[in-house]
């Protein structure tokens, strides 16, 4: 942001809940910066070289305080940025306001980054926000995408596909509400400009993807040859998935449950569905509270891991009538059905911490014959079945750690977002080295992200001697592990 010619945003350049929350947001951003040493070190390292100069980054990622520090890191490195959230409930309105106002603006004269996000969007509003975030003033598009879950990438790919076909499929043919709304959004866009998404897609040099679910989509696109630009899979940096997914969820799962319902967790039986990195963190956090934790899995390796950690590994039907808290963390769909919920104990708590809201059959629950829906408070809903028993659904089946609490803490997000920033720099500055495939960051950058976070924890690394390094065949300064090492 140039201080000599401040770029004051107009009302059309953003849509957030309330710019009056900006001061509170700025205070929390200031506290978060101290907890995000990786991002701050990255700012210092690249302050002079401005590697993202010329990059127009469209970001779709939970608009939280931690993301605010990421956004301002990108702008400090020279990028132009537009942002939306990747979930209708995950925006922290004070963070969104502070980013729009910017470090030098005021609510009256905002000078920050255009943000389209507020907590509690409808699905229509959500996809409108996503479209605004991808639409730059003057009809330009982004030349970089920073994605979390792949919604921005999906809109660009579907938009170009339908423009190529000359028509958007009938929204009434969609098998779910969300895809119907996506089709309606693109229908309107095609009617106004038949080449918009094609132009945007052609201008994009790459995408960096934050999470397991989005990465899964990218590999599918790459496999069929439909991926339109190079992608970096940030999720599978060790310093991302082995930290954010594991320790982040270990922290924020119980935070979400406590803020939502404040039930005593110790003594309860909790079912964690899915024992990947996220499920592992969830199981540990619930066990740490004194819950008896049961795991469900489809993958024999993860199932064996859970068993060796001492968790009973059963099927949902074995515990559906006796457990107290159910958490889905599978990345798959229809994990807990309405039928399952009809058999649960009175006031069983059902929540999801996987990326999308299709792990729990919420629509079928709402359409259950004779069901009564009682809203307790935002993101906490009671559904009373005709037989009189209720279940409590958190965040309408969307990720409850962000919906009911504030998501992952800054320190762990600093790891994830430093990977994001490095990935953006990598794709933007060395674009010719990447083709339309999915890549992970090289090991030495992964180790660098970790190294940024050691001082703050008082960690003292031991130094390899030349002889020791030679003995195990690694350079003294790393990388210390082969790419296939699993940590």
Partner 1 sequence: MPVLRSLAERFGAERPLEGVRVAACLHVTAETANLVRTLAAGGAEVALCAANPLSTQDDVVTALAAPGVSVHARRGEDADEAAGQVAATVAERPDVTLDDGADLIGFLHAAGRTDGLLGGTEETTTGLVRVRRLEAEGRLACPVIAVNEARTERLFNDHYGTGQSTLDGILRATNLLLAGKTLVVLGYGLTGRGIADRARGAGAQVVVCEVDPVRALEARMAGFGVMPALGAAAVGDVFVTVTGSRDVLRAEHFARMKDGAVLANAGHFDVEISLADLRAAAVGGAQEVLPLVEQFDLGDRRLNLLAAGRVVNLAAGQGHPPETMDMSFALQALAVEHLVRAAGELDARVHPVPADVDAEVARLKLRALGVSVDAMTDDQRAYRTSWG
Residues of this chain, 308-347, that bind partner 1 according to CB under 8 A: 308-312
Q: How far apart are CA 263 and CA 393, in angstroms?
A: 14
- DSSP strand pairing (372-377 vs 438-439): unpaired
Q: Which is nearer to partner 1, 280 or 453 (CB)?
A: 280
* The pairing of beta strand 325-328 with beta strand 348-352: parallel
Site string for partner 1, 268-307 (x = CB under 8 A): -------------------x-xxxxx----------x--x
Q: Has 453 been annotated as catalytic?
A: no
The reply to whether 332 belongs to the active site is no
CA atoms within 13 A on the CB side of 8: 5
Take residue 255 and report the two structure tokens written for it: 């935070």
Query: How many residues of this chain bind partner 1 (CB under 8 A)?
Result: 15
CB of 222 to partner 1, least distance (A): 37
245 an active-site residue?
Answer: yes
375 φ/ψ sector (left φ>0, alpha ψ -120 to 50, else beta): beta
Q: Is 444 a catalytic residue?
A: no
Q: Which is nearer to partner 1, 269 or 419 (CB)?
A: 269
Assess whether 157 carries a catalytic annotation.
Answer: no
Q: Annotated catalytic residue: which of 240, 251, 268, 280?
A: 240
End-to-end CA distance of the chain: 40
Among 137, 267, 386, 475, binds partner 1 (CB under 8 A): 267
Sheet hosting strand 348-352, strand order edge to edge? 292-296, 269-273, 325-328, 348-352, 390-394, 380-384, 372-377
Phi then psi for residue 66, to 5 deg, are -65, -40
Q: Indicate if 302 belongs to the active site.
A: no
> Which of residues 165 and 264 has its CB atom nearest to partner 1 in the complex?
264
User: If we measure between CA atoms, which residue out of 131, 137, 145, 134 comes closest to residue 57?
Assistant: 145
Encoded one letter per residue, x for contact with partner 1 by CB under 8 A and - for no contact, window 203-232 reads ------------------------------
Does the active-site annotation cover 355? yes
Residue among 300, 304, 345, 301 nearest 326 (CA): 345
Asked about 420 being catalytic, the answer comes back as yes
- Annotated catalytic residue 416: yes
User: Smallest gap, in angstroms, from Cβ of residue 462 to partner 1?
Assistant: 24
Q: What positions carry a catalytic annotation?
A: 62, 85, 90, 148, 210, 235, 240, 244-245, 249, 355, 408, 416, 420
Chain residues in the site for partner 1 (CB under 8 A): 266-267, 287, 289-293, 304, 307-312
């Amino acid at each position: 942001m140039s201080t000599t010619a401040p770029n004051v945003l107009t009302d059309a350049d953003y849509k957030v809940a309330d710019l009056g929350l900006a001061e509170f947001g700025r205070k929390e951003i200031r506290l978060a910066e101290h907890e995000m040493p990786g991002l701050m070190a990255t700012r210092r390292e690249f302050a002079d070289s401005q590697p993202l100069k010329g990059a127009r980054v469209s970001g779709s990622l939970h608009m939280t305080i931690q993301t605010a520090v990421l956004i301002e890191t990108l702008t400090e490195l020279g990028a132009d940025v537009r942002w939306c959230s990747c979930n209708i409930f995950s925006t922290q309105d004070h963070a969104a306001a502070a980013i729009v106002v910017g470090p030098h603006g005021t609510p009256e004269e905002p000078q920050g980054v255009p943000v389209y996000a507020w907590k509690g969007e409808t699905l229509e509003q959500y996809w409108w926000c996503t479209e605004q975030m991808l639409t730059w003033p003057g009809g330009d598009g982004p030349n970089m995408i920073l994605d979390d879950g792949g919604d921005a990438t999906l809109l660009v790919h579907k938009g170009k596909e339908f423009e190529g076909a000359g028509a958007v499929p009938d929204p009434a043919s969609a098998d779910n509400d969300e895809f119907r709304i996506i089709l309606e959004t693109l229908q309107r866009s095609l009617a106004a400009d038949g080449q918009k998404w094609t132009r945007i897609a052609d201008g994009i040099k790459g995408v960096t993807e934050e999470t397991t679910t989005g990465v899964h989509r990218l590999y599918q696109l790459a496999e069929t040859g439909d991926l339109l630009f190079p992608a970096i899979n940030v999720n599978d940096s060790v310093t991302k998935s082995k930290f954010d997914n594991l320790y982040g969820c270990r922290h924020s799962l119980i935070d979400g449950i406590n803020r939502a319902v404040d039930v005593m967790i110790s003594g309860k039986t909790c079912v964690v569905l899915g024992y990947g990195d996220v499920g592992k963190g969830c199981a540990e956090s619930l066990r740490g509270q004194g819950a008896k934790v049961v795991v469900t899995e489809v993958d024999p390796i993860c199932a064996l891991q859970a068993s060796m950690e001492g968790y009973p590994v059963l099927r949902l039907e074995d515990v559906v009538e006796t457990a107290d808290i159910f958490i889905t963390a599978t990345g798959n769909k229809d994990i807990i059905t309405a039928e399952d919920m009809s058999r649960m104990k009175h006031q069983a708590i059902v929540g999801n911490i996987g990326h999308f809201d299709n792990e729990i059959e919420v629509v079928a629950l709402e359409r259950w014959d004779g069901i009564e829906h009682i809203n307790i408070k935002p993101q906490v809903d009671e559904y009373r079945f005709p037989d009189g028993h209720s279940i409590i659904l958190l965040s309408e089946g969307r990720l409850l750690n962000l919906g009911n609490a504030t998501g992952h803490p800054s320190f762990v997000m600093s790891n994830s977002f430093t990977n994001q920033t490095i990935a953006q720099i990598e794709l933007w500055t060395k674009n010719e080295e990447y083709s339309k495939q999915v890549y992970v960051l090289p090991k030495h950058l992964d180790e660098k992200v970790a190294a940024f976070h050691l001082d703050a924890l008082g960690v003292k690394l031991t130094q390899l001697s030349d002889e020791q390094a030679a003995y195990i065949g690694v350079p003294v300064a790393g990388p210390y592990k082969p790419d296939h090492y699993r940590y």
